[in-house]
């Protein structure tokens, strides 16, 4: 880490230099690289990381209404619907009637439980390799920094939807 400072006035202490570069770009670089690592391992069991995450959430929270699942996963409903389709087609989850005629519930099937267990072993290999490469202390610090940052960013207003679906 750089400890460059910006000199102020001669009788005042210097302030740390502002970060250089785009934080969004740097985070996307990191996320792409981490995603590639996990995707490579998850491909061994025929899943994408997003599918593993979805199966895990349905296992933990289900049966659950699609809207509630989308909220729990911090994604919009249309993205959830698109991501659920291959899992339904594979027989790993089902969409069944809910408590009233207009609602539905997402359930994990026995085949979905088995696929999730298989995928969890692949995920564990990916996580252990990341821990070994970065070091457990760095991974723990990264988790803490991300959690703190998300909490702070939760105070920002949500980005409004573009008009007319643009």
Residues in contact with 41: Cβ distance below 8 Å, sequence separation at least 6, in sequence order: 122, 123, 125, 126, 129
Long-range contact pairs involving 43-47 (C-beta distance under 8 Å, separation at least 24): 44/122, 45/115, 45/118, 45/119, 45/121, 45/122, 47/115, 47/119, 47/122
User: Contact 15/3 with Cβ under 8 angstroms?
Assistant: no
**Burial of 119 by CB count in 10 Å (0-12 exposed, 13-18 middle, 19+ buried)?**
buried
Rounded to the nearest integer, the mean pLDDT of the chain is 88
Confidence (pLDDT) at 146: 93
Residue 63 exposure: Cα atoms within 13 Å on the Cβ side: 12
Tokens of 14: 């210097």
Confidence (pLDDT) at 159: 59
Is 3 a residue whose pLDDT tops 90? no
Q: Report CA-CA distances (Å) from 25 to 21, 32, 75, 134, 157.
A: 8, 10, 21, 20, 21
Q: How confident is the model at residue 6 (pLDDT cuts 50, 70, 90)?
A: low
16-27: average pLDDT: 87
Higher pLDDT, 17 or 71: 71
pLDDT digits (tens, 9 = 90+) for 94-134: 999 888 878 899 999 999 999 999 999 999 999 999 999 99
Q: Which domains does the chain have, with CATH numbers?
A: 25-151 (1.10.10.10)
């Amino acid at each position: 880490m750089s400890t460059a400072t910006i000199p102020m006035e001669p009788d005042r202490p210097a302030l740390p230099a502002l970060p250089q570069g785009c934080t969004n770009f740097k985070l996307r670089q990191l996320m792409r690289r981490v995603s590639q690592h996990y995707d490579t391992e998850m491909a061994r069991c025929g899943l994408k990381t997003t599918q593993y995450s979805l199966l895990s959430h349905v296992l933990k929270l289900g049966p659950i209404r699609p809207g509630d699942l989308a909220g729990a996963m911090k994604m919009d409903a249309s993205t959830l619907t698109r991501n659920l389709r291959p899992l339904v087609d594979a027989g790993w989850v089902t969409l069944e009637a809910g408590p009233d005629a207009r609602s539905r519930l997402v359930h994990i099937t026995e085949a979905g439980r088995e696929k999730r267990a298989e995928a969890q072993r692949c995920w564990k290999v990916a996580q252990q390799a990341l821990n070994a490469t970065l070091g457990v202390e760095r991974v723990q610090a990264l988790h803490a920094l991300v959690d703190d940052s998300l909490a702070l960013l939760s105070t920002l207003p949500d980005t409004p939807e573009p008009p007319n679906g643009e």
